[in-house]
Chains A and B, each alone.
Chain A
Amino acid sequence: MRALIVEDDPSIGADIELGLREAGFVVDRITNGEDAWFAGDTEDYAIVVLDLGLPRLDGMTVLRRWRAAGRTFPILILSARSDWTEKVEGIEAGADDYLAKPFQLGELTTRIRALLRRAGGHAAPLIEIGRLQIDTTHRRVRVGGADVRVSPLEFRLINFLAHQSDRAVATADIAEHLYGAADTSDANAIEAMVMRLRRKIGADAIQTRRGFGYRLTGGAA
């Protein structure tokens, strides 16, 4: 798997490169924003580690340009700044995770593995139910063609319901699937998550069948 590291500090860059090589990646390392933008625009990477403070073109601009050009590889941002406003900005610009400097290499590789797990491929990449389109490759959800931001957990819930071929699923089964173990208090969390999801993908997209559980209908097409 190819990884791109964009970091202008040579010792940090070399450190990340070494860590990712040990983890089995083929690594490209770039030290300025313009080259990074070009590389990301033309090559396919499994993961990109992007520093925000870069010479020539700043990291946030590089990130926005990649996303605007339809590049979908997972991106982990590194930044010396750690304020929440910038984290939110980074995620809204299309980053998948954010790590503030200084960091432990172990934490970086853990996060990268988590990103790769999330981006992992599926046999049936696109599921359509009602107005919903579920892109299991890129873990994205569309309603009537428009992207809707869902959290990883919400995606897992939608994906699970989508694979239940039109039957209602009991809360306990959902908890079992999401958390590996059912617990009576999980029902609250699942109910709250369903309410949130309904606000995002439409109130009628998930039906409650009293006594049976939840059913994904995708809403009227």
Chain B
Amino acid sequence: MLQTARTPGLNLHTYSEVEEVTGFVGNFKVRIRKKARYVNNECNGCGACWEVCPAYGYNEFNEGLDPRKAIYASFAQAVPMLAQIDMTKCIKCGLCEKACEVDAIDFDQEDEILDIEVGSIAVATGWDEYEPETGYLGYNVYPNVITQLKLERILAPNGPTIGHLKRPSDGKTPKSVLFIQCVGSRDLTRQTYCSAGVCCMISVKNTKLIKQHAPDIDVTVAYMDIRAAGKDYEEYFTASRKEGIKYIRTNVSRLQEDPETHNLKVVLQNTVGTTGLKEFEYDLVVLSSAMVPAKGIEKLASILKLEKSHDGFFKEYHARLNPIDTKIPGIVLAGVSQGPKAISDSITQGRAAASSLARLMMKDKYRILLIRATVDNEKCAKCGLCQLNCPYDAIKVESDGAEVNEILCRGCGACLANCPSEAITLRYYREPQYETQIDAILEEI
């Protein structure tokens, strides 16, 4: 990330949001809102401010496992390493301002609006972890039912427990852990898709990490299928089973908490064997939750006028033959914005996206098909119905008639169908062509 930030000619806008995008390939106009950090660029990330701050807030990076101050850096490796103030938690005591030795605190800072022009756009909005609804498999009700991201922070050496495996209810190390796969994935009532086998491999990895902490912890994975399709994944999975991690092919029939111990009693079935339904007790349950599109994607989709697939991720030009471009020339999809995938595939997709844009921007010209609307300004009454109906903002009423932007126009003919003056023609699909066809087909009647 540091290298990216240091690349000459690259403008990095963090803590910012895209508010508006107009234009077309080669000529996009983008409005960016740089949200106020209340800290200016003098900040060097020393942390003197958050040391003295008396107010606390929800630590997003650590999944709420520990608090952070009202003035804080997103995480220890943030690029750029600048503090930011969460104004919903700040009590404006001014202690940070006094502690800061480079005068970086600025309570009067305001959001900044930037208007820039770009030739092309790559959408790399990534994903969020599906949050099961309260009560589903005990989530958000039983303290010892957590999702994978929470487990990752617990196991991380720079996390809130410094890497010690502690369970939420009492901070004790669990003696038994159950991983439940496909939570929210492959689910007819939630997300129907499979999250590309990412959660399968995350569990294989995390079970291994847990065993490294304490080899005598009983680790079980309740799965539907283990999707280990990737380089070295199958071998990694085999090694995991050899280490003594139990994989049981089952869904969870019932999950209840013992209110005194906060242990979880889970009913499982061994579908590969004949043991039937049986109840097991676990100290900790980890839900392998689905990959869902990043929050805020709805807003971006309408700003870019980008379609979404039925799974909620952005729609690619063609699912098999071109999962990189979109139907809008000049906009490409990088990484998980197009759909769930693991690290190596995300990198492949990202590089493909960059390459697609490079190919596009290298030339001075942009080639289009001729299937476009044309307007006979003699007939045009400037009523504006075409402009109202165009789904691509390609036709606008000007002083001497309607004008078509031949790059934005996709030749759908909606303007033509709506024009009361019949002033619009669509090349290759003209009215007389259809009239002749209709006449010929119905000739014998």
The answer to whether A and B assemble together is no
Residues of A with Cβ closer than 8 Å to B?
Answer: none
